[in-house]
Chain A
């Protein structure tokens, strides 16, 4: 049982480049989340998907887009990366918003 899998684990981008962070869960959960965590800070919610085909903005959605194409997968896209988006990105899923399961994170550096 893999739980929540994020790819890639590490990425370095140049300013202006685009990339997609992938997240997949195998627990048949309805809700999925994307968070970012800057050094020494707490987690901030970027986007949230309550179910397949639905997405909602969180606290810090600017500069990001998301896709929930099916129940398993929730991707986060940076269209034009900026140094301010250097962070650790966590994906999470939950059946009922009570017990959330997190991936191991994607460490992104934008230079």
Chain B
């Protein structure tokens, strides 16, 4: 797995976009970028993944830089229920998933 670096914590105002950065400067060409989140003490929840192109689903958007060395997860209109720890993982499909420290996002009213 490529090493990922995320800020330990971030704040966001409710209703605003939350932009969570992730550095993965050693990512290889066939490694995907995955995002998961963990709300309170529940099991982690898959959010989105991408290889080269930007991706969007009902939960979030994933923007990957052209050189693939970093990415940003965007929650377009953050709600209080989006308060969670967000994990960025860079990994080959088919390999075991390993989690780093993540970013603790606090959405404030």
**Which residues in A have some Cβ–Cβ distance to B below 8 Å?**
4, 31, 33, 35, 41-45, 48, 56, 58-59, 88, 90, 92, 94, 96-105
27 CB < 8 A contacts A-B: A35-B99, A42-B99, A42-B101, A43-B44, A44-B99, A45-B96, A58-B96, A58-B98, A59-B98, A88-B41, A90-B43, A92-B44, A92-B97, A96-B94, A97-B92, A97-B93, A97-B94, A97-B95, A97-B96, A98-B34, A98-B93, A100-B44, A100-B46, A102-B43, A102-B45, A105-B41, A105-B42
Q: Cβ of A102 and Cβ of B96 under 8 Å apart?
A: no
Dominant SS among interface residues on chain A: strand
The total of chain B residues at the interface (CB under 8 A) is: 24
Docked complex Cα distance between A58 and B42 (Å): 21
Docked complex Cα distance between A48 and B50 (Å): 23
